[in-house]
Amino acid sequence: MDASQLAATCAFCDSPLELAAAEAEEPVDAVAPFQLTEAQALQRLRDHLGSQWLAPGYVRKLGRPGELKPVLVPFYVYDATARTDFSCQVGCYWYRTETYTTFENGKAVTRTRQVRETEYTPLSGTHGRTWTNHLVSASKGLPETEANQLEPFDVGAALPYDATLVAGLIAERPTVDHGEAEHTARQELAQREQQAIAGGHLPGDTYRNLQSSTRSQIDAVRLVMLPVWIAAFKLPGKGEALRMLVNGQTGEVVGAVPTSWAKVGVLIAVGLFALLGFFLCFSGCGGLVALVEG
Amino acid sequence: MRAIRCDGCGGAVAARPGERLPACLFCGETALTEVEAAEHIEQPQLFAPFLVDEDAAQAAFAKFARSSWWYPSDLASSRLDLKRLLLPAWAFSGRIELHWTGLVSASNRAGKRPVAGHDTVDVDQVLVPASRSLRIAELHQLGAFDETALVDFEPEQSPAPFELSELSRSAATERGLGAMEDSQRQIVQQRNQLLSIRLSTILHQITGKPVLVPIWIGAYRYNDVVYRILVHGQTGRLVGRAPKSLWKILFVITVVIGVAAAIAMCLLGGGGLAALLNA
């Protein structure tokens, strides 16, 4: 088994990784303690799985004591200043009065109505913002998309690194290097900047052709371990395990819960029958009406 | 550090050992509880001494009481019980980078067009109250305090009762940055004649320190409503509200109705006369 894999499966669970090994490579700045107990995390997980109506029945009943492992997952935490140049066409609405002809009581009459038009004007401008505590997963075992779903974490709750903070927990070593993580951070910041511009920085009523280029200056980066409860379930007849993650601070549950195709099939069938019934009823009524009128 | 917390408005005021505060300085409430200052809050190490004495503060109140005809007549003749108070605040200064967009009026069909710009300005002093009892708007109305006058503060030798700071550095910074941004928003909008403004900011070299600023404070009840008067301890500027005289309001309403009735009668009377003539 790959030593970098997230500790959920088995290798790490049975033999907790000592942080001493990780320390030699990359000093950990801070550790956020678990705020959810195992029982609380398990309850969140069971509630989440139980509410997945389209998941196979055995998946909805998963989650027993001892299956969740407390893992401290490494994250790079960035403070950055981002400046973005953007250009777009800003649209401002105006109203045109239009004359039209209509028929009222069999006579042609002329009426007026207000029609909304948009005046587009090109705009070039800038946006700037300081982003604090932007998280990028430092673990190859926890892909960035899954990490983003687990967020937010309260990085402020992290305490300066101390060996007692990781005692008895599985502490994963960072497997994503600085350069790779910074590249991800810059990409994500550029996305956030564009969202911030589109979502509230542009004047006028609407816009089109928004283009932006962001320059991010990394002001600080820290390596912080954040608490995640992890469970890996072997599913019958499947090669890969179902991995479920529970945010150790907020209780947010993340995982790719499989869909039961049998259930989906039944649902589609029921939907089709309902539609068919509806259709029959209507045409039946129509037939009745036709009969009566006849 | 021990202090007295008011059960009415939540303000916690500390005095020199041996000195007693009979009533809350902010609202006049007499139900007070003894409290201890929270350890994680930085208490001010600097304060600005009083430059305005009690007579000057009273004179400011007397002028305020006569400033509006609507105030009750007995307000001007009454002597307000003004007390010295050192108020905790966080003073922020720094450089702020502004990236803004907005709309200006234009002679196109929409009547407006978008503009954008950026600017870097130095912000001298933005004060954020660190007190529970004072609103941010009241402090802003009082105006700036002369920071060069700040001297070391020793609680034992405090010239006046002082309120405990109740704002941590991080909470103060958050509010201070918001206040800085707000102060610039209006300036940029006016300077560029913007119909509307959207602002994003980057802050540089922001420094914040907890200080105590001198004010004269008086609270009085009028018809069971508490009115608070603040006088800037350095400039003598007054901020406060006063009741409006019910009798004067009734008097004006009566006069207005009377005049309206007289005019109406005149017109009707004229109409009656015209009708008579026509007949």
Q: Judge contact between B244 and B225, C-beta under 8 A.
A: no
Q: How many domains does chain B have?
A: 2
Averaged over A206-223, what is the pLDDT? 94
Closest CB from B99, B103, B109 relative to A94:
B109
Q: Enumerate helices (H) and strands (E) in chain A, giving the number of each.
A: 8, 8
- Give the separation between CA B92 and CA B134, rounded to whole angstroms: 18
Q: Judge contact between B176 and B13, C-beta under 8 A.
A: no
Residue of B nearest to A94 (CA): B110
Q: Are residues B257 and B166 in the same domain?
A: no
Q: Judge contact between B93 and B176, C-beta under 8 A.
A: no
C-beta atoms of A130 and B202 within 8 A: yes
Tell me the per-residue pLDDT of B257-279, one tens digit each, with 9 for 90 and over. Answer: 999 999 988 887 665 555 555 65
ipTM of the complex: 0.70
> When comparing pLDDT for B232 and A61, which is higher?
B232
Query: Can you give the pLDDT at residue A286?
Result: 54
Planar angle of CA B222, B227, B231, nearest 5 degrees = 135
C-beta atoms of A128 and B112 within 8 A: no
Closest CB from B103, B113, B202 relative to A81:
B202
Query: Can you give the pLDDT at residue B248?
Result: 85
DSSP A260: -
Helix (H) or strand (E) holding A210: strand A206-233
Query: Can you give the pLDDT at residue B178?
Result: 84
- Give the separation between CA A266 and CA B253, rounded to whole angstroms: 76
| Distance from chain centroid for Cα A230 | 18
CA distance B106 to chain A (A): 11
Closest CA to A171 of A224, A243, A245: A224
Q: How many CB atoms lie within 10 A of CB A246?
A: 29
Which of A11-20, A187-196, B165-174 is least confident? A11-20
C-beta atoms of B202 and A129 within 8 A: yes
C-beta atoms of A203 and B117 within 8 A: no
Inform me whether the pLDDT recorded for A6 exceeds 70.
Answer: no
Q: Are residues B262 and B212 in the same domain?
A: no
Interstrand relation of B2-6 and B83-105 (parallel, antiparallel or unpaired) = unpaired
Chains A–B, number of C-beta pairs less than 8 Å apart: 68
Q: Are residues B235 and B252 in the same domain?
A: no
| Distance from chain centroid for Cα B88 | 15
Which of A42-51, A283-292, B8-17 is least confident? A283-292
| Distance from chain centroid for Cα B22 | 25
Closest CB from A118, A125, A129 relative to B101:
A125
Q: Are residues B274 and B185 in the same domain?
A: no
Closest CB from A92, A126, A127 relative to B112:
A92
Q: Are residues B15 and B51 in the same domain?
A: yes
pLDDT level of residue A285 (50, 70, 90 thresholds): low
- Give the separation between CA B215 and CA B54, rounded to whole angstroms: 11
- Chain A residues bordering chain B (beta-carbon distance below 8 Å): 81, 83, 90, 92-94, 117-119, 121, 123-130, 196, 200-204
Q: Where are the alpha helices (DSSP H) in B82-145?
A: 136-142
Chain B residues with CB-CB distance to A201 below 8 A:
99, 101, 198, 200
Chain B residues with CB-CB distance to A117 below 8 A:
109
Residue of B nearest to A200 (CA): B198
C-beta atoms of A128 and B97 within 8 A: yes
- Give the separation between CA A153 and CA A137, rounded to whole angstroms: 12
Interstrand relation of B12-14 and B2-6 (parallel, antiparallel or unpaired) = antiparallel
Q: Are residues B229 and B253 in the same domain?
A: no
Averaged over A125-148, what is the pLDDT? 90
Q: Give the predicted TM-score (pTM) of the model.
A: 0.66
Query: Can you give the pLDDT at residue A129?
Result: 92
Q: Are residues B99 and B231 in the same domain?
A: yes
> When comparing pLDDT for A149 and A58, which is higher?
A149
Query: Can you give the pLDDT at residue B279?
Result: 55
pLDDT in tens, chain B (279 residues): 667 777 666 667 776 656 666 677 666 677 677 777 666 778 888 888 899 998 898 888 888 888 888 888 777 777 678 888 888 888 888 899 999 999 999 998 989 999 999 999 988 778 888 877 677 677 778 888 887 888 888 888 888 888 888 888 888 888 888 888 888 898 999 999 999 999 999 988 888 889 998 989 887 777 777 788 889 999 889 988 777 888 888 889 999 999 999 998 888 766 555 555 565
Is B189's Cβ below 8 Å from some Cβ in A? no
Closest CB from B112, B114, B116 relative to A126:
B116
Q: Judge contact between A137 and A144, C-beta under 8 A.
A: yes
Is B23's Cβ below 8 Å from some Cβ in A? no
Determine the 3-state secondary structure of A259 from DSSP. coil
Query: Can you give the pLDDT at residue A23?
Result: 44
- Give the separation between CA B121 and CA B119, rounded to whole angstroms: 7
C-beta atoms of A128 and B102 within 8 A: no
The torsion defined by the Cα of A154, A159, A164 and A167, in degrees rounded to 10, comes to 20
CA distance B200 to chain A (A): 6
C-beta atoms of A123 and B198 within 8 A: no
Characterize B66-83 residue by residue with b for buried, 16 or more Cβ atoms within 10 angstroms of its Cβ, and e for exposed. Answer: eeeeebbeebeeeebebb
Tell me the per-residue pLDDT of B28-57, one tens digit each, with 9 for 90 and over. Answer: 677 677 777 666 778 888 888 899 998 898
Closest CB from B99, B111, B116 relative to A94:
B111
Q: Are residues B17 and B100 in the same domain?
A: yes
> When comparing pLDDT for A291 and A139, which is higher?
A139
Tell me the per-residue pLDDT of A95-110, one tens digit each, with 9 for 90 and over. Answer: 999 999 888 888 889 9
pLDDT level of residue A210 (50, 70, 90 thresholds): very high
Q: Are residues B144 and B254 in the same domain?
A: no
Q: Are residues B119 and B250 in the same domain?
A: no
C-beta atoms of A127 and B202 within 8 A: no
Q: How many CB atoms lie within 10 A of CB B100?
A: 25
Query: Can you give the pLDDT at residue A3?
Result: 40
Is B171's Cβ below 8 Å from some Cβ in A? no
Residue of B nearest to A116 (CA): B110
Q: Are residues B172 and B275 in the same domain?
A: no
- Give the separation between CA B241 and CA A22, rounded to whole angstroms: 64
Give the residue numbers spanning the domain of B133. Answer: 2-244
CA distance A163 to chain B (A): 25
> What does the block give as tokens for A51?
């509410």
- Give the separation between CA A209 and CA A203, rounded to whole angstroms: 14
Distance linking the first and last C-alpha atoms of chain A: 79
Q: Are residues B52 and B116 in the same domain?
A: yes
C-beta atoms of A203 and B111 within 8 A: no
